[in-house]
């Protein structure tokens, strides 16, 4: 298996090399990240600058690459200049939660979704800024995600670690539709208020199907001048 690690915290992230080591039991692990922090850039890209001059090998170790683009561009650069046969993209571990509406701004989630555009499954990992408790449970999480979980056609899983030490209870939950909800079946409430490790399938499909059904049922035919 070929695994690509990307992030929006850049090559300076202290999480990169420990994450690479943890994943190496599942295959060959590559790193491709920006040369500096690109937090909050969502799914932005510098696609017209995805050129060789802005991409190079890092001096931090084998199979590690840096570039001048965004987190999303990490996937683009790697597939263009290194190899296309990537089986899984792991985005993160982000220094800061990506819960609820915040995923709209997240470069971590944006990069994971970019992988899906190339038909590659992905996992976006986030935790409290400067947190470290999750390292003790990371191997068990990957064992679950890689070897035990039936993804049921999901392409991207947004995972947030709670505060505190493992073992963690985990729950599959939808993304919260409001900021900082104190209750409900959503990622923010279960991760921040109940200390669950939350897993939320997310996708590139932005269609509002409920509204679409209502509009399609009420309006049909050709547009007419009024």
Q: Is 48 contained in some domain? A: yes
Q: Quick: pLDDT tens for 155-181.
A: 999 999 999 999 999 999 999 998 889
Domain around 71: 2-218
Quote the number of domains for the chain.
Answer: 1
**CA–CA distances in Å: residue 202 to residues 22, 54, 144, 153, 154:** 24, 30, 18, 11, 8
Q: pLDDT category, 93, cuts 50, 70, 90?
A: very high
pTM: 0.92
Task: Determine the pLDDT at residue 219.
Answer: 86
Q: Is 70 contained in some domain? A: yes
φ, ψ dihedrals at 170, nearest 5°: -120, 155
CA dihedral 190, 177, 102, 74 (to 10 degrees): 100
CATH classification of the domain holding 71 = 3.40.1210.10
148, 191, 140: which is closest to 167 by C-alpha?
140
- For the ranges 7-16, 51-60, 94-103, the lowest mean pLDDT is seen at 51-60
Question: How far apart, in whole angstroms, are the C-alpha atoms of residue 197 and residue 168?
Answer: 6
């Amino acid at each position: 298996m070929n695994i690509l690690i990307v992030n929006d915290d850049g090559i300076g992230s202290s999480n990169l090399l420990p994450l690479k080591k943890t994943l190496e039991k599942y295959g060959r692990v590559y790193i491709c990240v920006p040369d500096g922090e690109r937090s909050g850039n969502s799914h932005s890209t510098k696609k017209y600058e995805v050129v060789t001059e802005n991409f190079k090998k890092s001096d931090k170790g084998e199979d590690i690459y840096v570039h001048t683009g965004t987190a999303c561009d990490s996937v683009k650069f790697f597939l263009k200049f290194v190899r296309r046969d990537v089986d899984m993209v792991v985005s993160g571990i982000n220094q800061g939660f990506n819960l609820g509406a915040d995923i709209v701004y997240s470069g971590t989630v944006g990069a994971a979704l970019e992988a899906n555009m190339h038909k590659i499954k992905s996992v976006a990992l986030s935790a409290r800024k400067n947190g470290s408790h999750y390292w003790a449970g990371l191997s068990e999480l990957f064992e679950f995600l890689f070897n035990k979980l039936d993804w049921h056609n999901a392409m991207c899983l947004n995972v947030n670690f709670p505060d505190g030490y493992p073992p963690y209870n985990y729950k599959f939950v939808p993304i919260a539709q409001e900021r900082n909800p104190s209750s409900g079946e959503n990622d923010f409430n279960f991760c921040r208020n109940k200390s669950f490790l939350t897993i939320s399938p997310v996708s590139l499909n932005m269609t509002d199907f409920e509204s679409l059904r209502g509009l399609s049922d009420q309006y049909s035919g050709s547009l007419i001048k009024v």
